[in-house]
Chains A and B, each alone.
Chain A
Amino acid sequence: MAKVVDRRKLNFWEELYLPAIASGMKRTFAQMFKPAITLQYPEQRPEIFDDYRGAPGLVRDQDGREKCVSCQLCEYICPPRAIVIVPGEAPDQPDYDYSEIEKAPKEFYIDMLRCIYCGYCEEICPEQAIFMTDLYELNAGSRQELVHDKAKLYDVGGLRVDAIQKWKDKNASPGSEERKNVPPSGNPGDGAH
C-alpha cells in the first residue's frame, strides 16, 4: 500500500520563493561577520587526545628495552595485513636477563599505505609493545618510504613508561629462579585451569 504523504499547500508568498530566498540571503550575509573557526594548520595544531589512533609504533619500556617478543599476533590480526614480522632470537644482554624471552623481531614492517588505523594491533599485543601514536602526518616521496621498518617504528613509538612494569621485578620475584629452569611449555600462572 502506498502511503500518501499530505503535503502542506504552499500559500502565495511561499510559492513565490522570493521571501524564502531573501531570508536565506539575510542569513548568509549575517554569517559573514561571524569569526572564522579555521585552524591555521601547519602553524596551529589540533589538540591530540591520549587515545588518538595515529600511526602505530613499537615502544621500548622504561629502561629502553625492546618489549616486542615477536609473537606475531598483531601480524595475524591486522585486517589489511599491513604488518610483516621476521622473528628472530632475542639478543643476550649482560645487564638484563632475557632468559624468559626467546624471541624478538629481527625485522618488523608496517606498510602505512595498507594500515587502516584500526588499532587492533595495539589491542591484541600481549606485551603492550605496539601502540597507536599521535603521529598523523605521513608523507614520502615514494611508496617504499611509507613501509615503516623496525628502526622507524621504534622511532615513532619511542619510550613508553607504563604503570605495569612487567619485567622490572621479574628477576627478583619469588620463584623466578625456578621458572627459569622450567621448559617453556605452559604458563605457570594457568595452573588453576
Chain B
Amino acid sequence: MNEFFAEYPLVFTMATTLAKIVLFTHIGLILAAYMPWVERKVSAWMQDRVGPNRVGYAGLGQPIADALKFIFKEDPVPGHVDKVLFTLAPALTVIPAILVLAVVPFAPAVSLFGQTAQMAIADLSVGILFVFAFSSLAVYGITLAGWASNSKYPLIGGVRSAAQMVSYELCLGLSVVGVFMAAQTLRLTDIVELQVDGYWNMFTQPIGFLVFVIAAFAETNRLPFDLPEAETELVAGYHTEYGSMKFAMFFAGEYMAMFVFSCLVAVLFMGGWDVPFMSNESFAALGNWGAALGFVAFLTKVLLFLFFYVWVRFTIPRFKFDQLMHLGWKVLIPLSLLNILWAGLWNMPS
C-alpha cells in the first residue's frame, strides 16, 4: 500500500478527499438533522417542559419521523408563484452552507500509509475568502424565495433578509480582518496552528470575537435576528408559501448555516482543534491519536457553540428592524474597525 501511494500520490489524495467529503458533509447533515431535536429539548428544559420524548429513546427518533413526514407530504406549489425560482430557492440556501464546509479544518493532519492528509476537504490558501464568497450566497436563496413566492409576507421577509445580510456581511468581514493580521495568512489550517501555539483569538481580540458572534447570528437569521422569518409578524417570512420537503430544505439550510458558522467561530477564534496546554508538537507527537483528540476537541467546541445558538434564541427577544440596522451600521462596524486597530497594535513588531 505504502509504495503504491508513494508512487501515485494523486490516488491517495483523491481517495482521502472523497472520504473527507463523505465524512464531513455527513457530520454536517446529521448535526443539521439533530439540531432541531436539540433545540426543542433545550427550549423545553428552559421552559420547564419535557420536549420530544415519544419517538425512540428521549425522542431521538423525532428527526427521522419528521423527515419521513416531510417526504411523504404533498408538495404544494401555489399557482401564483414563479415556478423556477420557487423551486430553486430552497436548494440555494442549503448548497452554499454545505460548500463552505469544504475549507473547514476539522482536525490536525492525519498520516496514513506514509502520506499525510489535511483534515479539511480543501485546504485552500484563500480559505476564508472562499467562506465569505459562498456563505453570502445564502442570501440569494432567501431573497429569491421571498420574491418568487409572489405574496406579501414572503416578500417582506426576503427584503429584510437582503438588508440584514448585506449589512452584517460587512461587520462579519471586518471582524475577521484582525485574525488575518495576527496570522498573516488566509489559510484556515495555519490560523488554527498559530492559535494552538499561541493564544486563542477570542482572548487576544475579544471585540472582534464579539462582533463576529453577533454577525454570525445575523447571518444565519437566528434569533434575536430572525427578522426574515419573524413568526409573530410575518407568518413564516420567506418560507410562508413552502411546504413539505422544500420547507425542510430551508430548515436544513438554516441549521447547516448554524453548523458552518459554529465551525468558523471555533476555527477563527476558539483555536480550532486546540486543547488547552497542547502545542503543535504535542499533537504531532501523539500522531493519529493527536488528530483524533483534536477532532473531538473541535467537535466539542462546535457543539458548545451550537448550544449557545439555542441558548441565545430562547433568552433574547427579537430586535426591531431599526434597532437591527442601528446595531449593524452604527455599533458593530465601528467596533470591528476598532478591533482592527487593536489587532494592529497588539501585533506590532516591537
Contacts and interface: CB of A to CB of B under 8 A. Distances in A.
A and B form one complex: yes
Interface of A: 21, 24-25, 27-29, 31-38, 40
A21 B315 CA distance: 8
B175 to A, nearest CB: 16
A35 B314 CA distance: 18
Interface of B: 42, 44-50, 311-312, 314-316
A41 to B, nearest CB: 11
Nearest to A34: B48
Contacts of A29: 46, 311
A32 B315 contact: no
A32 B45 contact: yes
Contacts of A34: 48
Nearest to A29: B311
B316 A35 contact: no
Contact of B49 (A21, A25, A36): A36
A50 B252 CA distance: 48
A38 B50 CA distance: 6
A66 B272 CA distance: 79
B312 A31 contact: no
Nearest first, the 3 A-B pairs at minimum CB distance are A32-B45, A38-B50, A28-B315
Nearest to A30: B46
B50 A36 contact: yes
Given A21-B316, A24-B316, A31 B311 contact: no
Given A28-B46, A32-B42, A37-B49, 4 more contacts: A21-B315, A21-B316, A24-B315, A31-B47
A32 B310 CA distance: 12
Nearest to A20: B316
Nearest to A35: B48
Contacts of A38: 48-50
Contacts of B315: 21, 24-25, 27-28
Contacts of A31: 45-48
A27 B47 CA distance: 11
27 contacts: A24-B315, A24-B316, A25-B312, A25-B315, A27-B315, A28-B46, A28-B311, A29-B46, A29-B311, A31-B45, A31-B46, A31-B47, A31-B48, A32-B42, A32-B45, A33-B45, A34-B48, A35-B48, A36-B44, A36-B45, A36-B48, A36-B49, A36-B50, A37-B48, A37-B49, A38-B48, A38-B50
A34 B315 CA distance: 16
Contacts of B312: 25
B46 A32 contact: yes
A28 B311 CA distance: 8
A101 B302 CA distance: 79
A193 B269 CA distance: 92
Contacts of B49: 36-38
A97 B100 CA distance: 87
Contact of A40 (B42, B50, B311, B316): B50
A38 B312 CA distance: 23
Contact of B311 (A25, A33, A35): A25
B310 to A, nearest CB: 10
Contacts of B311: 25, 28-29
Contacts of B42: 32
Contacts of B314: 28
A37 B48 CA distance: 6
A54 to B, nearest CB: 25
Nearest to A38: B50
A173 B42 CA distance: 69
Contacts of B316: 21, 24
A36 B44 CA distance: 8
Contacts of A40: 50
Contacts of A35: 48
Nearest to A25: B315
Contacts of B46: 28-29, 31-32
